Structure 1
Amino acid sequence: YTPAPGPNSARDAKACGVDPAFSLPPLAPRTRPGEWLEYSPL
């Protein structure tokens, strides 16, 4: 069982071809109380 790769085999996002500057577009404002959970980015 290995929880994470060792220092020699670990890679960052850039090495995997992922743009680290990527961000999600802003969400529309919530109008109903339950929408915070439905549209939560978590």
Structure 2
Amino acid sequence: DFVQGGAVIGRVGMTGRTTGPHLHFEIRKHGQAIDPDGILPEKTIH
């Protein structure tokens, strides 16, 4: 999917078997997870 800058794409929370709040975020291309380095601007990667 394509999203606009500033759009909410997830929320941080504690569900499942977790020890603290977190957000799982990944980028997939052709069904495979890929490394976001070189795709996302540096300021968006934390």
What is the TM-score of this pair, normalised by structure 1? 0.22
Higher RCO structure (Cα 8 Å, ≥6 apart):
2
User: Rg: which structure is higher?
Assistant: 1
Q: Which has the higher strand share?
A: 2
